[in-house]
Amino acid sequence: MNRLRVIGLLSFVVLALAPSMSTAAQKTTSTSTNVTTIVYDYATDASQLRMRSDDYNGSGQAAYTTSSSKSASLSSSIVGGEWILKLYQQSLRTLWITPNDPVGSQPAGPPAGYYWDGVQSSSRCFDQNGNTVPLQNVVTSSGNCKLGVNFSSGGTVYKVLMSPFPFSGSGDGTPVCPSTGCPATGVVSVTCNVLSGGQCVSWTIVPNAGAPNANVANLYRYSSSRGTSYWTFIGQYYNSFRIDVTNP
């Protein structure tokens, strides 16, 4: 009987602890912070950018902030140290994307234009070993960052990616490259504009003009098979952008 009581007590303790264990696991998930994203139409030298705003609430630029309603939502946030702008759950706000400015001779890309369907743009930085450096920890600047933008055109999802790596981080899928591998692209610079409490709360994101392959991005086409997602390399195209992100 004593042994049965001990077993019963142990079972009770395990069941009693289960909710707190679940709560602890939830706390380890990536935190999300809403931010204001400003996308510019022109570089600081007044040249027109290939990825630019919809001028919805400004001239030559537009601000994107998180909003939601019963039928639509827009998300501008930093999730796990990565800036992410999502437009695809609404159709009012757009980004102008230029996926067809070829580097030399390349296959025809989708047309340039204002996109919202499937649009998600993101940026993060890396240390010399390829580990993610949260944007909050970029307290001066980093020239080893990425920027990608997904969009849907003609029922197909594409990705324009400028990155130190062909793909970086979970959820990107498997790249399908030529036998020689996917070619290197340019990389991105993230500069901290404002510090608060030892962490950065305002950033500027632009192509790294001093790195090899400046302004060169890879274009990929999405597909899936048996639960695995694939990004097939199409070609190389120029991209340019200037983005400010601030918290809040």
For residue 104, what are the contacts with CB-CB under 8 A and spacing of at least 6?
236
Angle at the Cα of 179 (from 175 to 182), degrees rounded to 5?
Answer: 45
Q: Read off the pTM.
A: 0.86
How many residues does this entry show for the chain? 248
Residues 14 and 113 grouped into a single domain: no
Residues 8 and 75 grouped into a single domain: no
Residues 6 and 85 grouped into a single domain: no
What confidence tens digit (pLDDT) does each residue in 30-78 have?
789 999 999 999 999 999 999 999 999 999 999 999 999 888 899 999 9
Residues 154 and 47 grouped into a single domain: yes
Structure tokens at 213: 């392959």
What confidence tens digit (pLDDT) does each residue in 158-188 have?
999 999 986 654 456 788 899 888 999 999 9
What does the DSSP 8-state code read for residue 102?
B
Residues 74 and 126 grouped into a single domain: yes
pLDDT at position 109: 96
Q: Which domain holds residue 102?
A: 33-246
Q: How many structural domains is the chain composed of?
A: 2
